[in-house]
Structures are given as C-alpha cells and as structure tokens.
C-alpha cells in the first residue's frame, strides 16, 4: 500500500479533485500531517468523512520502525526497519547552528566506491519518497526538536533515485510541509553526469555536493568505478554547466585516504582541477571501518594538505568529525545489524 507521506502538495490536490472534492483540502491535509503531526485520519476535522475513508483505503498513514539508536556526544544514529524488513540509517548531528540530519536514499548502493561500507551491498531497491520523509519526521518526533538542515549523504546514490528524491525535496521544503529552507538542504552525488545536468533545471536552490576524492582519472578510476562511466573531464563540464545555470557554489568532498590520495602532489593537482570553479572543498577525515583496508590520513598530513589548498586560494574546510565511536560512517550500523 502507498503512504500518504509520499505525496507532494500537487499530488494531493489532484487526488482531491479526482475524488470530487476540493483542491484546498491538500493544504489542510499537509498541515495535519506536518504541523499537527496526526497519527490517524480520525483526527482530521475539516475534511468530509467519505473523502477521508477513501484516502485511508488508498494511502497508509503508518510510520517506520526505529529498531536501534546509538548515541554519542552531539550525534545520534537511528536504524530504521522498512516494510519489507530491510534496514537503513539516518544520523542526527547537533551543530551550533541547529540540528542536521543525514538520510539514506537507497537500500544498498550500486556505485561500488572502494572505501565505502554501504557499497559492499548491492542496491536492493530505491527508497520511496515517503521512506525519506519519514526518516526526518520520526527523528523530530523522537527528539522533540526541529531539524533545521538535511543532507542526503547516507546509504545510497541519491541521483540514482532521482524522481523520488525531487518529490522528497518538494515535500520537506514546502512551507506547509517540513518547511526546511532549500539552502539548508544538501544532496551529494558521486557524479552521475546526466543527473547533474538535469538538476541544473530544478527550481529549488538546493546545495549540490560532489564526491570527488581524487584529482585525476587514474586514481579516481581505482577508487570510484563511476569514474569510468563519467570521467573527470565530463564531470567538470557538467559542474560548470550547473554553475552557469544556477549561479550557485558547489562543494567538493574529498576523503583523505592514507597513502592513496593525500600527497602534496595530489593537493596541487586538485588545485589545478578546480581552478576557476566557484566551489569549496570539504576535506573529510576517513572514518575507518573494520571491513575495508583503507586507512585514515593522520592529522598533521591532513593539515599539510589543507595548507596547500589554502595557499592556492581555494576555499577549504575540514569536516568536523561526528560519531566515529558509534559506527556513524555510511552503512556501518546496518552492516553490524545484518552481520555482513
Ligand atoms: N552516493 C553519494 C552520497 C552518499 S555517500 C555520494 O557518493 O556522494 C556520502 C559521502 O560519504 C560521500 O562523499 C562518500 O564518499 C563519503 N564516505 C563514504 N564512506 C566514508 C567513510 N568511511 N568515511 C568518510 N566518508 C565516507
């Protein structure tokens, strides 16, 4: 059965009109779901009973199940069980500027990045829009606080689940939905070029982050198989197109992997690669996982890499680390649960 949390406002408007009712009920229903946070259709008082009972037949109002929670200072990780018994994760990070949640977009992932725990399990299926929306709703409910920022950087490749992702954005951004500002939402992709081009046309001003992780094709081919399909020249070209269309800035994520991509030469090559692009680079200390051999670059070398970028006038930050104690790296909690 479909879920009511997968419907955009427009979908609901169409539903009401198709059922001989009024369009404006869509706004009312949104506010019952996302402002009043009802748990049952019975709580709705301003929509006719017949319409509600057909709604109830067509769309479930059920939540997901949270089956595990792991807490550390400033970070909390939630394991969700889906209707088909699959598991996905979301991570809450408490920043000084608000609560940020990292959500998953697929069960498993087909991108096969060598350093990533999630990719050890092939994609089983895309998450439905409602499964993305409910990750946020349920964390807000458990926490008793609002989520101010959302990043789509959990399990999965969001641009490989493009249509559901855009519906998700439209629901959480809507003033009557979760009302999370587009500029507070970030989506990260490993570089699906056709989708980056398509995303240039998307009207909401959502932040785009690119998982770069290597400054040349030879190295990127080795750690990110997607690079064989869309090599750096094509990726950079798509990014330039996106920047021209949207007038925005792009983020490059760069995980530092010991003795793989963390040399001063790599830093200089990276400078050349992003020269002239309106971007900033987010250096990510690698979160080591038991199942994969990559090691984390030590702090002194991270600083050295950072300095080289800085001296070359690149906007660069080092990502604040959350949750290495609670297996917060992408896919780690699910792996533990399912003993993979
Ligand atoms: N598929 C998307 C989004 C999910 S991964 C993408 O590739 O961007 C989110 C980010 O976490 C990516 O930059 C990914 O490369 C990074 N990541 C994966 N495993 C990690 C680990 N063990 N430590 C640090 N970052 C990791």
Domains and CATH numbers, the chain: 2-60 (1.10.150.530), 65-339 (3.20.20.70)
CA distance 214 to 267: 9
Strands (DSSP E) found in 197-294: 207-211, 250-256, 279-285
Is residue 213's pLDDT more than 80? yes
pLDDT digits (tens, 9 = 90+) for 254-298: 999 999 999 999 999 999 999 999 999 999 999 988 878 899 999
Could you tell me the pTM of the whole model? 0.94
Find out whether the beta carbon of 214 lies less than 6 Å from any atom of ligand 1: no
Is residue 6's pLDDT more than 80? yes
Quick one: pLDDT band at residue 340, thresholds 50, 70, 90? very low
Query: CA–CA distance from 245 to each of 62, 74, 184, 273, 334 (Å)?
Result: 39, 37, 20, 20, 38
Residue to mutate, 75, 111, 116, 325, ligand 1, most ligand atoms under 8 Å from C-beta: 116
Among residues 13, 76, 89, 266, which one is catalytic? 89
Is residue 305's pLDDT more than 90? yes
Cα(330) to ligand 1 centroid in Å equals 6
pLDDT digits (tens, 9 = 90+) for 114-127: 999 877 789 999 99
Place of tokens 């649960």: 337
Nearest to 133 by CA among 98, 180, 95: 180
Is residue 328's pLDDT more than 60? no
CB atoms within 10 A of CB 34: 22
Q: Which residues lie closer than 8 Å to 81 by C-beta, 6 or more apart?
A: 64, 65, 66, 67, 87
Find out whether the beta carbon of 287 lies less than 6 Å from any atom of ligand 1: yes
Find out whether the beta carbon of 103 lies less than 6 Å from any atom of ligand 1: no
Is 113 catalytic? The answer is: no
Find out whether the beta carbon of 253 lies less than 6 Å from any atom of ligand 1: yes
DSSP state of 127: P
Percent of the chain whose predicted confidence (pLDDT) is above 90: 89
CA distance 304 to 287: 19
CA distance 228 to 38: 47
Mark 243-270 as b/e (b = at least 16 C-beta within 10 Å).
Answer: beebeeebbbbbbbbeebbbbeebbeeb
Residue identifier of the C-alpha nearest atom 9 of ligand 1: 153
Q: What is the mean pLDDT of residues 174-178?
A: 95
CA distance 120 to 139: 26
Q: Which residues lie closer than 8 Å to 95 by C-beta, 6 or more apart?
A: 149, 320
Cα(134) to ligand 1 centroid in Å equals 22
Place of tokens 């809450």: 92
Which pLDDT score, from 0 to 100, does residue 121 have?
86
Cα(281) to ligand 1 centroid in Å equals 14
Q: What share of the chain is helix, strand, coil (3-state, %, to 5)?
A: 40, 20, 40
Find out whether the beta carbon of 329 lies less than 6 Å from any atom of ligand 1: yes
Is 330 catalytic? The answer is: yes
Structure tokens that stand for 6 in this block:
């997968």
Find out whether the beta carbon of 161 lies less than 6 Å from any atom of ligand 1: no
DSSP state of 320: P
Find out whether the beta carbon of 328 lies less than 6 Å from any atom of ligand 1: no
The answer to whether 310 touches 133, Cβ cutoff 8 Å, is no
Cα(197) to ligand 1 centroid in Å equals 21
Find out whether the beta carbon of 332 lies less than 6 Å from any atom of ligand 1: no
Phi, psi of 209 (to 5 degrees): -120, 140
Q: What is the mean pLDDT of residues 331-339?
A: 56
Q: Strand pairing of 106-107 and 98-102?
A: unpaired
CA distance 173 to 318: 28
Q: What is the mean pLDDT of residues 11-28?
A: 97
Find out whether the beta carbon of 188 lies less than 6 Å from any atom of ligand 1: yes
The answer to whether 134 touches 63, Cβ cutoff 8 Å, is yes
Residue to mutate, 77, 93, 101, 153, ligand 1, most ligand atoms under 8 Å from C-beta: 153
Residue identifier of the C-alpha nearest atom 1 of ligand 1: 157
Among residues 76, 109, 279, 330, which one is catalytic? 330
CA distance 153 to 111: 13
Is residue 333's pLDDT more than 80? no
Is residue 320's pLDDT more than 90? no
């Amino acid at each position: 059965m479909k879920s009511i949390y997968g419907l955009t406002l427009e979908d609901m408007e169409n539903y009401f009109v198709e059922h001989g009712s009024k369009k404006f009920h869509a706004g009312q229903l949104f506010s019952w779901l996302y402002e009043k946070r009802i748990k049952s259709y019975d709580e709705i008082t301003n929509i006719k009973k017949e319409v509600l009972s057909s709604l109830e037949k067509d769309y479930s109002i059920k939540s997901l199940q949270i089956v595990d929670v792991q807490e550390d200072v400033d970070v909390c990780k939630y394991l969700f069980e889906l209707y088909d018994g699959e598991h996905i994760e979301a991570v809450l990070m408490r920043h000084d500027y608000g609560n940020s949640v990292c959500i998953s977009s697929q069960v498993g992932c087909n991108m096969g990045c060598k350093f990533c725990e999630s990719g050890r399990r092939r994609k089983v299926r895309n998450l439905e829009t409602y499964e993305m929306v409910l990750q946020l709703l349920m964390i807000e409910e458990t926490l008793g606080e609002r989520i101010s920022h959302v990043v789509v950087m959990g399990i999965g490749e969001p641009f490989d689940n493009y249509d559901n992702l855009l519906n998700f954005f439209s629901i959480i951004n809507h003033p009557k939905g979760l009302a999370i500002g587009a500029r507070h939402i970030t989506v990260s992709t490993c570089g699906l070029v056709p989708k980056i081009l398509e995303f240039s046309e998307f009207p909401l001003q959502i932040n785009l982050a690119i998982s770069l992780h290597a400054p040349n094709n030879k190295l990127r081919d080795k750690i990110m198989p997607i690079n064989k399909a869309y090599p750096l020249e094509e990726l950079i070209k798509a990014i330039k197109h996106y920047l021209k269309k949207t007038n925005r800035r792009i983020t490059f994520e760069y995980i530092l992997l010991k003795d793989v991509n963390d040399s001063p030469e790599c830093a200089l090559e990276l400078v050349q690669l992003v020269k002239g692009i309106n971007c900033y680079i987010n250096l990510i200390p690698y979160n080591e996982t038991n199942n994969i051999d990559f090691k984390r670059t030590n702090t002194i070398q991270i600083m050295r890499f950072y300095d080289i970028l800085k001296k070359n006038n690149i906007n660069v930050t080092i990502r604040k680390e959350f949750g290495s104690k609670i297996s917060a790296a992408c896919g780690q909690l699910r792996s533990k649960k399912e003993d993979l």
